[in-house]
Amino acid sequence: MIGLQVRSELGEIVTHGSSRGIPWSDALAQIDQARFPCLGGLLPYADTAFNERQVGRLLLEVADQSVRDMVGEETASEIEVLCRQVEQGSHLYLWFIGD
């Protein structure tokens, strides 16, 4: 399971994701990295952070119906909310926390 957090530039947790996170699946492991470079960079056992410019691209990826089907509607919606928090804040990052 990959957890979600918004953190400050100092690493302080601003928001914990409310859902269980993103379940790691074969589909996510084999996602087309050319089409979905942000999600394609996730690893099940590593952390990945996106800054306020990168979350704009991530929002486009999460809007794709195939991604929503893969991660689930609840998780996709949560990613969107957290991305917008990063975009509207200052010096915030969206973290995907691997096991």
CA–CA gap between residue 82 and residue 5 (Å, rounded): 8
For the chain, the domain total comes to 1
The model's pTM is 0.92
**pLDDT, tens digit, 9 for 90 and up, residues 35-51:** 999 999 999 999 999 99
**Distance, CA of 50 to chain centre:** 8
CA-based nearest residue to 85, from 50, 37, 44: 50
User: Which residues constitute the domain of residue 47?
Assistant: 3-97
CB contact at 8 A, 68 and 29: no
Phi, psi angles (nearest 5°) of residue 21 = 105, -165
> pLDDT category, 20, cuts 50, 70, 90?
confident
Taking 80 as the threshold, does the pLDDT of residue 21 lie above it? no
Task: Assess contact for 22 and 31: CB atoms under 8 A.
Answer: no
Nearest Cα to Cα of residue 80 among 98, 63, 97 = 63
